[in-house]
Chains A and B, each alone.
Chain A
Amino acid sequence: MYRILVVEDEKSLNDLITMNLEVAGYSYDKAYNGSDALDMIYENKYNLLLLDVMLPVIDGFELAQRVRHMDIPIIFITALDSLPDKIKGFNTGAWDYIVKPFEVLELMARINAVLRNKYGYEDIKIGDIEIHTRERRVFANNNEIILTKTEYDLLETLALNKNIALSREKLLQLVWGYDYEGDTRTVDVYIQKLRKKLSLEDKIVTVYKYGYRLEDKQ
């Protein structure tokens, strides 16, 4: 399991990020200022750092600079949206840069992308179902289930955001692409197909008037 350090002096935002990390099944630590974060980074092994920039004691850019040699991927989460700030952020070796206010789903997607880039594809396991993301193959009780491209994309999107409800619009956007002009009924149709093929009737939950959620209670 990936371990993530969240460095954000604003307690509310720190909680927000970690509560979402919790839902997505990551383990995490919290730090509220730069110097505590530095100590924690040296003491523990983290797979990813989420850094605010305007931090007490040591600011985010400097912190990133100081731990650069440890080769831990960094995502900045900051209110500073000017180009010079972004360039400065990337120059410190950051992998990504997210401007506040952000969508939680986007943050999770970016965390996922960075982890995948850094540590490679990881198979996803939900109940009896195993998703081999590199080969794009799905197994249920070790029997391969053949899915179409769209079905697979939909399943992977739901699995990567497990326990998070995704609205139909969001699913359309993530799976079919921004320029897809179909209506949200399409999503329902594909969800039905997935449920049938993988016997996920009780795992893919319909969220009333919103969308769907893939549940994975541990």
Chain B
Amino acid sequence: MTFRAKLIISMLIVFIIAFDISVVIFVSRGQSMVLEARESAAADEFSSIYRSIDKFIRETYTESGKRDMDFCKGIINMYKTLYNEGSTKIDIEEGIYTGNNIYMTKALSMPYDDIVISYEKDISDYYNMQREWKRLFVIVNFIFAGVLFVLVYGITSYLTRPLYAITKALSEFRKGNYGSRISINTRDEFQPIADEFNNMAETIGASIEQINKNAEEKEMLVRNMAHELRNPLAGIQGFSEYLLSCDVNDEDRHKALCYIDSEAKRLSALSNKILNMGITENTDIDFEEVNTRDIGEEIKKYKEVGLEYKIDKIVCDRILITDLLINLVDNAVNADADKITIIFDKTEEYYRISVADNGCGMDQKELLSIFKPFYRVNKDRSREKGGAGLGLSYCESIAKVHGGYMEVHSQKGRGTEFMIFLQLFNK
């Protein structure tokens, strides 16, 4: 049974019982008052009739001095005839009364005290009225129930409307429409449910979006990884097969061997990089206080760069940060830069190392993807240099394990600036 049906039935029962009880009390009280009034009027009437009969008989007895039964009965019969037409009946009592009317008796005074006068007042009209009331009561009850049902039906439909809205939104959500929201404005107990649902839907929707995005990125990563691993593998396998099974001349043999060599090296470099990424993501790093000039000198050994020191000390993992900077310098060199500047600095919350070059730069579209694993801005050239597109994602994971992040600004044809932000230690 629906909540609404329960509501309708319980409301109808309560209202009808309350109505009936009050009507019954009201009517029965009214009836008993009517009956009392009728009874007192009848008593008055009987007493006046009795007094006139009694007086008449007593006066006659005083004049004659003897008891005359026939005369007495004649008087009573006269009264009997007199009242015969109306609702009142006067008679000499003749046994036990069994009717429904008002009935009173009284004995006459001496010496006729053996005669009892009876008085009967017909109140059948009262009983008729009572029957009429009952009939009316049943009719009114039905009409009232009908009207009440219509009213209650309307009220409950208004009150339960939020429930239907909530159900609809929930089922939409279950079907996968994560944008489904409950739009009610009732300001009652349903409002917090709707608000809570909407908040929950917001959170779940965002999570699901994130999950989908992650899955997509993961799939992309797997595709790229497959491509990067299988290409050199196919080369090595194919060329060795070629050498094994074909009668090749010296030139072709040399070519095949060179390819096997370079592909094997590529595979080994790639596996190192992938392992490196795993290490940075899962290892506790060695924080130590490092002199920025030491890092600078180390990079200078690798490649001539401009260096600027606005801070002397930096707390970081020296090997990882040096690796990161060398990676960025490598990128700059690959971007045809002839001037590379590294600046060690700090902001209020972070150490900031910036690596700026005057190389070929990147456009906005390229910038969006450069931190993604296996992404290469220039596919052909970078591969010739042995790149797999993992450098920047490696750099970013280094910055992340240092509690920081990386930013990049670039202009096509003008150059690129990478900024590495590392968590600041106030030692």
Contact call B226/A104, Cβ cutoff below 8 A = no
Which residues of A lie under 8 Å from residue B235 when comparing CB positions?
A: 10, 12-13, 16
A211 to B, closest residue via Cβ: B245
CB within 8 Å of A: which of B56-108?
none
Q: Chain A, 30-63, contact with B by CB distance < 8 Å: what is the 0/1 string? A: 0010000000000000000000001010000000
Contact call A56/B237, Cβ cutoff below 8 A = no
Given known contacts A100-B233, A101-B238, A165 and B246 CB-to-CB distance under 8 angstroms: yes
Contact call B242/A79, Cβ cutoff below 8 A = no
Indicate whether A151 reaches chain B with its CB closer than 8 angstroms: no
CB within 8 Å of A: which of B204-235?
223, 226-227, 229-235
CB within 8 Å of B: which of A202-218?
205, 207, 210, 213, 215
Indicate whether A129 reaches chain B with its CB closer than 8 angstroms: no
Q: Indicate which residue in A15, A79, A81, A165 contacts B244 across the interface (CB closer than 8 Å).
A: A165
Interface size on A, residues (CB 8 A): 34
- Shortest beta-carbon distance from B237 to chain A in Å: 5
Contact call B242/A12, Cβ cutoff below 8 A = no
Interface size on B, residues (CB 8 A): 30
Complex Cα–Cα for A15 and B248 (A)? 14
Which residues of A lie under 8 Å from residue B263 when comparing CB positions?
A: 12
Q: Indicate which residue in B223, B247, B255 contacts A163 across the interface (CB closer than 8 Å).
A: B247
Which residues of B lie under 8 Å from residue A158 when comparing CB positions?
A: none
Most buried by A among B232, B238, B241, B252: B238
Contact call A166/B233, Cβ cutoff below 8 A = no
Complex Cα–Cα for A109 and B235 (A)? 18
Complex Cα–Cα for A214 and B250 (A)? 20
Contact call B247/A213, Cβ cutoff below 8 A = yes
Residues of B contacting A: mostly: helix
Contact call B246/A102, Cβ cutoff below 8 A = no
Contact call A104/B238, Cβ cutoff below 8 A = yes
Contact call B252/A101, Cβ cutoff below 8 A = no
- Shortest beta-carbon distance from B26 to chain A in Å: 81
Indicate whether A105 reaches chain B with its CB closer than 8 angstroms: yes
Indicate whether A156 reaches chain B with its CB closer than 8 angstroms: no
CB within 8 Å of A: which of B336-384?
379-380, 383
Indicate whether B156 reaches chain A with its CB closer than 8 angstroms: no
Indicate whether A160 reaches chain B with its CB closer than 8 angstroms: no
Which residues of A lie under 8 Å from residue B232 when comparing CB positions?
A: 12
Indicate whether A29 reaches chain B with its CB closer than 8 angstroms: no
Contact call A56/B379, Cβ cutoff below 8 A = yes
Q: Indicate which residue in A23, A79, A99, A103 contacts B237 across the interface (CB closer than 8 Å).
A: A103
Which residues of B lie under 8 Å from residue A12 when comparing CB positions?
A: 231-232, 235, 239, 259, 262-263
- Shortest beta-carbon distance from A37 to chain B in Å: 15
Contact call A105/B241, Cβ cutoff below 8 A = yes
Most buried by B among A12, A56, A163, A166: A12
Which residues of B lie under 8 Å from residue A213 when comparing CB positions?
A: 245, 247
Which residues of B lie under 8 Å from residue A103 when comparing CB positions?
A: 237, 241
Contact call A79/B227, Cβ cutoff below 8 A = yes
Indicate whether A164 reaches chain B with its CB closer than 8 angstroms: yes
Contact call B246/A23, Cβ cutoff below 8 A = yes
Q: Chain B, 372-415, contact with A by CB distance < 8 Å: what is the 0/1 string? A: 00000001100100000000000000000000000000000000
Complex Cα–Cα for A213 and B231 (A)? 28
Complex Cα–Cα for A22 and B369 (A)? 40
21 pairs, A vs B, C-beta closer than 8 Å = A12-B231, A12-B239, A12-B263, A16-B234, A16-B235, A19-B252, A23-B242, A56-B379, A79-B229, A79-B230, A80-B227, A100-B231, A101-B236, A103-B237, A104-B245, A164-B245, A165-B246, A205-B247, A210-B245, A213-B245, A215-B247
Q: A54-B223, A101-B237, A165-B246 are in contact. List 15 more A-B contacts (CB 8 A).
A: A13-B231, A16-B235, A17-B238, A19-B242, A20-B246, A56-B380, A79-B231, A79-B234, A81-B226, A104-B241, A104-B242, A105-B245, A165-B244, A165-B247, A213-B247
